[in-house]
């Protein structure tokens, strides 16, 4: 009898590399990412931490295939994104949705919330906004704590916190298996940060969503992610269970990062505990 093969990871990167495009004034393209391995199973969560310029957003872009890797592979459900047809790539993109750092910059300010949230389910902006579609938008808005009075509000008329909730509703409407959030709360003020992080934690558990969270905030990593990966100068320094990595970092770099990140957290001034 053949052995049972385990389900492939939802998202996997193998020896992923990204180079900056060569420039006329720069003879050699720069390696922005080198040899990055990561793996997220269905329902699991991974925090990606590292100082500014470490390559976190570059990694997100490569995982979403918004940038072409110069080396290695990205696999979604065991399928290499590089060899998918455009139609297959579209389906894989539905599975993994993204929420960016600045909600007001990532949403077209001229469009209303109904149009923005319904967008992933419509083949084009001219396709009809049916009653059924509107109903689904209302459901998603309710899941992120916004009432139907927001449907006709333009993105430009939303607060930062409301706009990030709309961005999350839009990411959820296609019923993805995973969210990738690149610093989803760093553009928000402190009170709103906690609310949006709690919302993500709630959605994760109620929908069994996998999550890749890019963050500067190790408290957010600890709240939301079982695993953490530390990136420095485009390479992985270490990765492992979040609790173990925070209390007992293997690398000096991680130890310094943990110290710096926890000591500058303005929401928990004075608290250096990482238990
Ligand atoms: N298209 C590009 N061409 C050249 N260099 C780039 C390009 N995109 C990013 N970089 C460089 O790659 C490095 C990593 O950038 P990236 O945006 O991934 O960092 P990050 O970890 O997300 O930082 P932050 O925490 O500030 O968002 C930076 O030094 C950046 O200047
Ligand atoms: Mg970034």
- What is the tens place of the pLDDT at every residue in 206-224? 999 999 999 988 889 999 9
* Nearest protein Cα to ligand 1, atom 7: 20
52 lines ligand 1 (CB under 6 A): yes
* 104: in domain: yes
* 273: in domain: no
* 275: in domain: no
* 148: in domain: yes
Q: Which residues contact 129 (CB under 8 A, 6 or more apart)?
A: 114, 115, 118, 122
275 pLDDT band (50/70/90 cuts)?
Answer: very low
55 lines ligand 1 (CB under 6 A): yes
CA pair distance 188, 263, nearest whole angstrom: 20
pLDDT attached to residue 103:
83
CA pair distance 271, 30, nearest whole angstrom: 39
CA pair distance 48, 217, nearest whole angstrom: 10
- The residue whose CB lies within 8 Å of the most ligand 1 atoms, and thus the one to mutate among 58, 62, 102, is 58
* 24: in domain: yes
Domain that holds residue 19: 11-266
What is the domain count for the chain? 1
**In this predicted model, what pLDDT tens digit does every residue of 12-62 receive, in sequence order?**
999 999 998 766 666 678 899 999 999 999 999 999 999 999 999 999 999
More confident of the two residues 259 and 149: 149
* 274: in domain: no
CA atoms within 13 A on the CB side of 234: 17
CA pair distance 129, 122, nearest whole angstrom: 8
**In this predicted model, what pLDDT tens digit does every residue of 99-123 receive, in sequence order?**
988 888 889 999 999 999 999 998 8
Q: How far away, in angstroms, is 57 Cα from ligand 1 center?
A: 7
Write out the two tokens for 43.
Answer: 């329902």
CA pair distance 238, 253, nearest whole angstrom: 9
* 271: in domain: no
Helix and strand numbers, DSSP H then E, in the chain: 10, 10
Here the CATH number for the domain that contains residue 175 is 3.40.50.300
Q: What is the mean pLDDT of residues 231-246?
A: 96
Q: Which residues contact 65 (CB under 8 A, 6 or more apart)?
A: 74, 81, 89
* 4: in domain: no
More confident of the two residues 275 and 75: 75
């Amino acid at each position: 009898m053949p052995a049972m093969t385990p389900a492939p990871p939802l998202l996997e990167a193998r020896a992923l590399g990204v180079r900056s495009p060569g420039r006329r004034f720069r003879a050699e393209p720069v390696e922005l990412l080198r040899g990055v391995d990561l793996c997220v199973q269905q329902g699991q969560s991974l925090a990606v931490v590292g100082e500014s310029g470490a390559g976190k957003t570059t990694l997100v872009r490569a995982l979403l295939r918004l940038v072409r890797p110069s080396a290695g592979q990205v696999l979604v459900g065991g399928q290499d994104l590089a060899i998918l047809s455009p139609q297959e790539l579209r389906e894989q993109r539905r599975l993994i949705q993204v929420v960016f750092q600045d909600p007001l910059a990532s949403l077209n300010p001229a469009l209303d919330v109904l149009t923005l949230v319904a967008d992933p389910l419509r083949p084009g902006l001219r396709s009809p906004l049916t009653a059924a579609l509107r109903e689904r938008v209302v459901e998603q808005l309710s899941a992120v704590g916004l009432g139907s009075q927001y449907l006709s509000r333009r993105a430009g008329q939303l607060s930062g916190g409301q706009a990030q909730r709309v961005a999350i509703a839009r990411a959820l409407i296609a019923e993805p298996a995973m969210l990738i959030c690149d610093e989803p709360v760093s553009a928000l003020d402190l009170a709103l940060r906690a609310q949006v992080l709690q919302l993500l934690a709630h959605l994760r558990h109620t929908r069994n969503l996998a999550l890749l969270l890019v963050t500067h905030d190790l408290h957010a990593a600890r709240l939301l992610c079982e695993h953490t990966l530390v990136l420095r100068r485009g390479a992985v320094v270490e990765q492992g269970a979040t609790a173990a990595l925070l209390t007992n970092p293997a690398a000096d770099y991680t130890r310094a990062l943990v110290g710096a990140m926890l000591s500058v957290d303005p929401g928990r001034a004075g608290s250096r505990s990482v238990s």
